[in-house]
Structure 1
Amino acid sequence: MSMTATDPSPPVVIEVTDVIERQRINAFVIRLVAISWTVTFLDGFDMLVISFVAPYLRDGFGADVISLGELFAMGVFGAMLGGIAFGWLGDRYGRRPIIIASVVAFGATSMAIALAPNMQVLLALRFLNGVALGGLMPLAWALNIEYVPRRYRATVVTVIMMGYTLGGVVAGPMTVWLAPLYGWQSVFMVSGVATLLLVPLLFALLPESARYLAVKGRSPDKIAKALNALAPGLGARPQDRFMVTDETAPATGKGFRIATLFKGDLRPITSLLWLAYIGSSMAVYFKSNWGPIIFEDVGFTRTQAAMIMSVSSIGGSLAGLALMRFTDRLGPIAIAFYPMLAAPLLLVMGLAPVSLQGLAAFSLLSMAMISGTHFGMHSIAGIFYPSAIRANGAGWATSVAKIGSIFAPLLGGYLLAMNIPPRLLFVLLAATPLLSCVSLLLLARVGNRQAARTPVPTDNIVLPAHAVATKP
């Protein structure tokens, strides 16, 4: 029976967990995923376009490989700090306002990069741009995870991250199209304007997490509105009591400390998640930052190098899509399959006398496996943590992963400056998927033990208010 805010009947207890777990696919969630996909598309474009712009910076600003490595690392370092800072803000003030703030910030800094007069200013602006870019994704994951059933969490995060990868795919052709005609600055200007145009849509349509609000005891009117959108016949009202039954203390992220991520069962989970993420990020960011230049150095044209990178990104997207339902069913062990394949492929690329055509084919396959692994890491980054610290958990995971993201481009720049054969770098890179593979296999064992203790949905979504006193 439907109830309204003016209904005189007594308040009831509504179990938010069960409403979310029992929902069917509906317009509310589809709209949320579509909005999140769009903002991550722009995030991915902005984050990855720097590698395609790098050859033009080498020509225009006279940047050498070391200064380009510093530029790549500066953006990633900013993203590392942004993931931590925005994750903390998202757990304290809510997902919605901090997501919007992040989008505004990276749109504005993208436009500012287009006006940079020299390499020093560009480094500073790229750092600020990275802070904003790094803060967005953990919050988008947290918001979507908290609105979908457990059985679809990895799938939804993977779909959202398709936007990030496709943003990187578009970055290559867009740079090749715009930069020769209007300068590399035009690429960042177009990105910044498009991002800021999205902000009014976010104000109008982006919801706050009902699960987060219920855990925090805030805004019952917004919780009721969201739950009624998920389950139209529910009739939730602001005066009802909203419970989250599948999460344990702490119930607030206000006093969050990093030690919280290492309490109890979270200790091995956080440690192994971070190690797997570091290996995955190191491989992905080495590929995305140095890929175009290395491919030019081994004999491909600039256009061919950009095309290889873009096609490999599409392959990574397809690998991520193929993986997502297996991840929802099997957990981290499903993800470990990809780095098992990537490591030997990288060794072949570095050690075997492969032609340019063969190198292109092996590159496409290995990079698809590397990107597919990274999709998998994104999809599980927030699922092990309760809502009160989910943004912090995902934010810290993505930020710690940036250790690999920072180290890889810096190391690549110094190795290339030492005139090490470019192909030999693929041999060194093979260690990173091995690290991810071992960590994921161990994480799967720990995660299975945690899942065995997770409460199953109850029989009743709506209970009389007095039942909360006796409910176990």
Structure 2
Amino acid sequence: MSSRTLGWLTLFLVGTDLFVMSPLLPEISRGFAVSTSAGGWAVSVFAIAYLVGGPTLAALADRTGRRCVLIAALAVFAVANMATALAPSFAVLLGARGLAGLAASGITPSVYALVSATAPPAARATWLAVVTSGLLIALTIGAPAGSLLASAVGWQGVFVVLAVAALLILASTVVWTRRAAPPPPRTGANPLGATTTASTSDQYQLEPAPAVVTKVRAVSVTALWALAVYGPYTYLGTILREHLGFPPSVAAGALVCFGAGAVIGNLAGGRLADRFGGRLTSVITLLLLAGAETWFGLALHAGPVLLLASLAGMALAAYPFFSAQQARLVARYPAASGSLIAWNNTAMYAGILLGSAIGGTALTHFGPALLAFAAAGVALLAALVATSSITAPR
């Protein structure tokens, strides 16, 4: 089994664990006799634990070894899911979900770092994009499948299955990482593997781990990207059904179009970054995202066909960025790639949380069109930041 395949399966599992909570929340809330808003904390504590744990666990992985952190985090993840299934009270369930989020914050960057270290140099960004697609496909396949499974075995059974799956992946990881321990990055190597047409600013030499201020600057563009994308996306169902009056079938079609565009765009981003370099791909993608969100704002009252096409275009434009940004970070800081990728994921979660908060307020007071135009403005700002967020070594 290659690192790419194992990484995809691992992130598909983590994504399913996160996204399946949404369709299961009504049943969980009824089971513990809590309100829907209180039940939502089962999702929030996962995200908060991920935000807190990501940078710390990734720095630990860079110092002590990514294999050890990944194996330990997978073991904790399996325990957390079993604890979720067996939780006797809602408070215990919240603790289990927080533990799962903490474990996920150790799993995700370790997977990305191990895959980037074992991928062919000329296809590193492509491999990262393939692995990332596991998270995106979990949104469109894993979560609905978990919801269907819950109708047969209950919501507790879903988390038992996730715990067993985590143990199987843990066993595979122990075997694979023992056989294929990646060599340390070589000084002067080009970890991104861009061809001669790529920008030379993506080809860096090994140097000491960056300071916190440098890390924040490097991943700030990811926070802006997430804010631009998830500000409108979080309220997509509300926009389509309450503001535009579309039936549920159109709302479902919109999610399918967006999900398909996200997967295709993510995979395309890896190839583009390998070919043209992470910096150029990131900047062009963000400019295209600004245009696509402007198109979405203009297409709100143009009928369902154009509206669905604009959503697919928005996802196609948005998701090449993430793979390109990850490849760019690995290229710039190969010795601290796990740490930088963790900071990047933390920035993404921060942008999502901020986008959800600001997007709801903007939608309530200004309407969906201005929300889309504001998101386009944030994307333009992100494109500007991306030109200098990751600097060449001195």
TM-score (norm 1): 0.67
1:99 and 2:44 are equivalent in the alignment: no
Q: CA deviation at 1:106?
A: 2.3
1:368 and 2:316 are equivalent in the alignment: yes
Counterpart AA for 2:301: P
Counterpart AA for 2:125: A
Which residue does 1:74 correspond to in 2? 45
Q: CA deviation at 1:303?
A: 6.7
Indicate which of 105, 108, 113 corresponds to 2:79: 108
**How much identity, in percent, do the aligned residues show?**
25
Deviations along 1:122-172, one digit per CA (max 9) or x if unpaired, are 444333222211222221222222234543221221121122222222134
Question: 1:376 and 1:105 mapped to 2: Cα distance?
Answer: 30
Is the 8 Å Cα contact of residues 317 and 372 (structure 1) preserved in structure 2? Answer: no
Matches within 5 A, 1:444-463: 446=391, 449-450=392-393
Which residue does 1:461 correspond to in 2? none
1:324 and 2:270 are equivalent in the alignment: yes
Which residue does 2:340 correspond to in 1? 393
Is the 8 Å Cα contact of residues 273 and 439 (structure 1) preserved in structure 2? Answer: no
Question: 1:288 and 1:186 mapped to 2: Cα distance?
Answer: 30
C-alpha spacing 1:333/1:41, structure 2 compared with 1 (3 Å)? same
1:144 and 2:89 are equivalent in the alignment: no
Which residue does 2:192 correspond to in 1? none
Question: 2:312 and 2:328 mapped to 1: Cα distance?
Answer: 25
Q: CA deviation at 1:327?
A: 0.9
Which residue does 2:133 correspond to in 1? 162
Which residue does 2:191 correspond to in 1? none
Provide structure 1 residue ranges, at least 5 long, that are not aligned to the other structure.
1-29, 216-245, 251-255, 454-472
Which residue does 1:467 correspond to in 2? none
Which residue does 1:231 correspond to in 2? none
Indicate which of 235, 255, 274 corresponds to 2:219: 274
Is the 8 Å Cα contact of residues 40 and 164 (structure 1) preserved in structure 2? Answer: yes
Which residue does 2:13 correspond to in 1? 42
Q: CA deviation at 1:55?
A: 6.2
C-alpha spacing 1:91/1:436, structure 2 compared with 1 (3 Å)? same
Is the 8 Å Cα contact of residues 23 and 143 (structure 2) preserved in structure 1? Answer: yes
C-alpha spacing 1:378/1:312, structure 2 compared with 1 (3 Å)? farther
What is the DSSP-based 3-state SS (H/G/I as helix, E as strand, rest coil) of the residue aligned with 1:210?
Answer: coil
What is the DSSP-based 3-state SS (H/G/I as helix, E as strand, rest coil) of the residue aligned with 2:108?
Answer: helix
Counterpart AA for 2:343: W
Q: CA deviation at 1:98?
A: 0.9
Matches within 5 A, 1:172-251: 172-206=143-177, 207-211=180-184, 247-250=205-208
What is the DSSP-based 3-state SS (H/G/I as helix, E as strand, rest coil) of the residue aligned with 1:211?
Answer: coil
Deviations along 1:426-464, one digit per CA (max 9) or x if unpaired, are 3443344223222223347x4xx55xx9xxxxxxxxxxx
Is the 8 Å Cα contact of residues 287 and 367 (structure 1) preserved in structure 2? Answer: no
Which residue does 1:340 correspond to in 2? 287
Q: CA deviation at 1:39?
A: 0.9
Is the 8 Å Cα contact of residues 282 and 408 (structure 1) preserved in structure 2? Answer: yes
The RMSD of aligned alpha carbons is 3.5
C-alpha spacing 1:105/1:427, structure 2 compared with 1 (3 Å)? farther
What is the DSSP-based 3-state SS (H/G/I as helix, E as strand, rest coil) of the residue aligned with 2:331?
Answer: coil
Question: 2:147 and 2:289 mapped to 1: Cα distance?
Answer: 29
Deviations along 1:238-273, one digit per CA (max 9) or x if unpaired, are xxxxxxxx85454xxxxx7xx6355xxxx4xx4543
C-alpha spacing 1:68/1:426, structure 2 compared with 1 (3 Å)? farther
Is the 8 Å Cα contact of residues 340 and 434 (structure 1) preserved in structure 2? Answer: yes
Is the 8 Å Cα contact of residues 125 and 323 (structure 2) preserved in structure 1? Answer: no
Deviates more, 1:149-158 or 1:80-89: 149-158
Question: 1:189 and 1:283 mapped to 2: Cα distance?
Answer: 36
Which residue does 1:227 correspond to in 2? none
Question: 1:422 and 1:113 mapped to 2: Cα distance?
Answer: 37
1:315 and 2:288 are equivalent in the alignment: no
Is the 8 Å Cα contact of residues 42 and 167 (structure 1) preserved in structure 2? Answer: yes
What is the DSSP-based 3-state SS (H/G/I as helix, E as strand, rest coil) of the residue aligned with 1:381?
Answer: helix
Q: Which has the larger radius of gyration?
A: 1
Which residue does 2:352 correspond to in 1? 405
Deviations along 1:75-110, one digit per CA (max 9) or x if unpaired, are 222212222122022112211111112222223323
What is the DSSP-based 3-state SS (H/G/I as helix, E as strand, rest coil) of the residue aligned with 1:315?
Answer: helix
Counterpart AA for 2:111: A
Question: 2:140 and 2:332 mapped to 1: Cα distance?
Answer: 30
Which residue does 2:105 correspond to in 1? 134
Deviates more, 1:318-327 or 1:123-132: 123-132
Structure 1 or 2: more helix by fraction? 2
Is the 8 Å Cα contact of residues 170 and 310 (structure 1) preserved in structure 2? Answer: no
Is the 8 Å Cα contact of residues 50 and 289 (structure 1) preserved in structure 2? Answer: no
Is the 8 Å Cα contact of residues 55 and 293 (structure 1) preserved in structure 2? Answer: no
TM-score (norm 2): 0.79
Indicate which of 211, 235, 249 corresponds to 1:260: 211
C-alpha spacing 1:92/1:440, structure 2 compared with 1 (3 Å)? same
Is the 8 Å Cα contact of residues 221 and 382 (structure 2) preserved in structure 1? Answer: yes
Question: 1:347 and 1:119 mapped to 2: Cα distance?
Answer: 43
C-alpha spacing 1:381/1:249, structure 2 compared with 1 (3 Å)? closer
Counterpart AA for 2:273: T
Is the 8 Å Cα contact of residues 15 and 136 (structure 2) preserved in structure 1? Answer: yes
Q: CA deviation at 1:335?
A: 2.3
Deviations along 1:320-369, one digit per CA (max 9) or x if unpaired, are 22222221232221122222222233334345424344333322221332
Question: 1:422 and 1:62 mapped to 2: Cα distance?
Answer: 32
Which is bigger in relative contact order (C-alpha 8 A, separation at least 6)? 1
Which residue does 2:201 correspond to in 1? none
